[in-house]
Amino acid sequence: MSVRKNIAAALAAGFMSLCANGAGYQIVEQGAANQGTAMAGSTANANADASAAFWNPSAATAVDLDVGETRVDATLSFIMPTLSFQDKGSQSIIGGPVKDNDCAVNSVVPNIYGVHRLTEDIYLTMSSTAPYGLESRYGTNWVGRAQALRSYLMTLDFNPSIVYKINDWISINGGVSAQYAYCSLTQYSVTQVGGMLIPGVLDMTGDSWGIGGNAGFTINYLPDGRFGFQWRSKVEHTLTGTYQFNGIQGGDIKADMCTPDTFTVGIYQRLRGPLEKFAIMAEYAYTRWSVFDELYVDGIQGSTAIKENWKDTSRVAVGLHYYPIENLVLRIGSAFDESPVHSAQDKTPRIPCEDRVWLSCGIGYTFGQFSVDVGYSYILLVGDSNIDRSEGSFGTVKGSYAGHIHVLSAQVGFKF
The most distant pair of C-alpha atoms in the chain lies apart, rounded to whole Å, by: 83
Q: Considering the chain, what percentage of its residues have pLDDT values greater than 70?
A: 89
CB 79 within 8 A of CB 405: yes
Pairing verdict, β 262-270 and 150-167: unpaired
Phi, psi dihedrals of residue 24, rounded to the nearest 5°? -80, -35
pLDDT digits 0-9 by tens, 172-218: 999 999 999 998 888 888 777 777 778 888 888 899 999 999 999 99
CB 101 within 8 A of CB 142: yes
CA distances from 244 to 3, 15, 150, 205 (A): 10, 17, 14, 9
Q: What is the mean pLDDT of residues 281-299?
A: 80
E strands of 91-169, at which residues? 101-102, 107-117, 122-129, 133-137, 150-167
Residues in the chain: 416
Using pLDDT thresholds of 50, 70 and 90, give the confidence band for residue 22.
Answer: very low
Domains held by the chain: number: 1
Cα–Cα nearest to 41, from 283, 285, 377: 283
pLDDT of residue 127: 97
Q: Indicate the pTM of the whole model.
A: 0.89
pLDDT of residue 157: 95
User: Residue 249, class by beta-carbon neighbours within 10 Å (0-12 exposed, 13-18 middle, 19+ buried)?
Assistant: exposed
Distance of alpha carbon 319 from alpha carbon 35, whole angstroms:
10
pLDDT for 270 beyond 90: yes
Could you say which DSSP state residue 261 is in? P
pLDDT digits 0-9 by tens, 386-396: 888 887 767 88
pLDDT of residue 392: 72
Which amino acid belongs to residue 113?
Y
pLDDT of residue 385: 85
CATH number of the domain at 130, please.
2.40.160.60
Cα–Cα nearest to 157, from 174, 180, 134, 173: 180
pLDDT of residue 18: 45
Distance of alpha carbon 209 from alpha carbon 160, whole angstroms:
16
Residue partners of 342: CB distance under 8 A and separation at least 6: 309, 310, 311
Residue 319 sits in which domain range?
A: 3-415
